[in-house]
Amino acid sequence: MSTTTVSPRTGRIPFPGTPAEAAVRLARAALHGADGTYTVYEREGAWWYAGGVRARLVADRTRVTLEHDGFRTEAAWQGDLLETVHRLLSSLPYADWRAYGWAAFELSYALAGETAELDGQPLVHLVVPRTEVRLRADGAEVLRCDEEAGEALLRALTDAEQPEPSRDGFTPLAVDLGGPGEAAYRDGVESAVADIRRGDLQKVILSRAVQVEGELDLPATYLRGRSANSPARSFLLDLGGIEAAGFSPETVVEVSADGRVSTQPLAGTRALSGDRAEDAARRAELLTDAKEIYEHAISVQVAWEEMRGVCREGSVRAEEFMTVKERGSVQHIASRVSGELADGDRGPWPALAAVFPAVTASGVPKRAAYRTIRRLEPGPRGLYSGAVLTVGADGSLDAALVLRTVFRQDGRTWLRAGAGIVEQSLPEREFEETCEKLRSVSRTLVPTRR
């Protein structure tokens, strides 16, 4: 089976509905049969659909494996996992590849040299797709299409008869946002504050998971969730044994093909009520709350230092400093730290290695935060607080922080959220903050039709 780039004469293909709806139709269409792998990724007003597997790269605690066109390469890594990832991807016999996938939170342990803390689960899972489509309001551009999937792709794009669940009379799947984990989470906050007061660390993000009972229509949940949220990035995927629909409030890192790089820390939170006057009052309170400002300031400081380590001297700067971004059911203090990536032959990966995991999902300092997270959270985080990302042969990379996400794996469906713990933290307030964040997704969970 061959893979070809669609002829320029195809042009832009008009489709009914929104780009998000068209992307979901492609995801539902099973264009590649039994190979159900796909990723939908939204960035700056466009949606990308990437389906099927042309090449696959998987990295774990000991090796990186690349498979393509019947070939398989395995490489043990030591010291720098992402350097091995870069080297294998650069060996692909394609001039214009783009990969889509994810990095688990536990990749941070590998980057820190703490491999003894890892099990055998994948840390990075990337796929170069057989079919790739960019969707905007003015039409779809087929960048690459498996020949046998072409007709099915066109049918899915132009099919106006695929109804999505109505927004009228919608009742989401019920989720107990408190549940039996409330007491354990509050105890964990108290323990984390004790660590901070001893001087072990300055800040840690402590998270908790809540189960979702019942059968969930994940693509429909993505559409409903996207209409209720205003994310920096959004994604819908079925890749590497896990399904997810998420509405990322911030990016971990953005790297352009010319080496410009930025990261966007968000820290400091207040709920959104929908009442304009009340939300304005909460915003004013957020920007004058000493605890929230401190939490944000140390996050920006860490991002600045991390960027200095990989950027040209004098190029790092803070932008959009302490603005407020509305993200679904909450509002956050936001800043952006940017720079110019130093010359090198490792592509965009040093930038990801420098800032991963996002300081707003780990803590300060990061290694001390890892120890507290491992001690107080039951089991690995996996995809939560890792990244969904896309990387290209041209040196560009875009990584969305995996928060405000519903996950499904091995018959289990769940949500997860965390709060930034500093010395001034109160257990009851931090628990309520996790509830505020969980509501960004819990209110949009669409049950499967009977």
Please check whether residue 285 lies inside any domain of the structure: yes
Residue 296 in tokens: 């944000």
Range of the domain at 231: 179-442
CA dihedral 264, 45, 158, 170 (to 10 degrees): 70
Structure tokens at 409: 């794996």
In tens, the pLDDT along 216-236 reads 999 999 999 999 888 999 999
Reported confidence tier of residue 167, pLDDT bands at 50, 70, 90: low
Name the residues annotated as catalytic: 250
214 lies in a domain? yes
- 15 in a structural domain: no
The overall average pLDDT reported for the chain is 91
CB atoms within 10 A of CB 243: 18
The rounded distance, in Å, linking the Cα atoms of 38 and 22 is 14
In a domain, 45, yes or no: no
pLDDT score of 6: 43
Domain contains 58: no
pLDDT digits (tens, 9 = 90+) for 181-219: 899 999 999 999 999 999 999 999 999 999 999 999 999
Which of 53-67, 75-89, 241-255, 261-275 shows the lowest per-residue confidence on average (mean pLDDT)?
261-275
pLDDT at 332: 83
Does an H or E element contain 137, and which? none
224 inside domain: yes
For residue 165, the model assigns a pLDDT of 54
* Confidence tier at 2 by pLDDT (50, 70, 90): very low
Q: Does position 168 have pLDDT exceeding 70, yes or no?
A: no
- The band of 5, judged by pLDDT with boundaries at 50, 70 and 90, is very low
Residue 163 has pLDDT above 80, yes or no: no
2-11, 148-157, 269-278: least confident range: 2-11
Quote the pLDDT of residue 169: 64
pLDDT confidence bin for 345, thresholds 50/70/90 = confident
**SS3 state at 308:** helix
Pairwise CA distance, residues 449 & 164, whole Å: 10
User: In this predicted model, what pLDDT tens digit does every residue of 46-68 receive, in sequence order?
Assistant: 999 999 999 999 999 999 999 99
Which pair of structure tokens corresponds to residue 386?
A: 């890792």
Higher pLDDT pick, 112 / 450: 112
Residue 316 in any domain: the answer is yes
CATH code, 312: 3.60.120.10
H helix runs in 159-289, sequence order: 182-197, 218-228, 276-286
Q: How confident is the model at residue 150, as a pLDDT?
A: 87
Interval 83-87 mean pLDDT: 97
Q: How many domains does the chain have?
A: 1
Measured CA to CA, the distance from residue 248 to residue 263 in angstroms comes to 13
pTM given for the model: 0.92
Residue 232 lies in a domain: yes
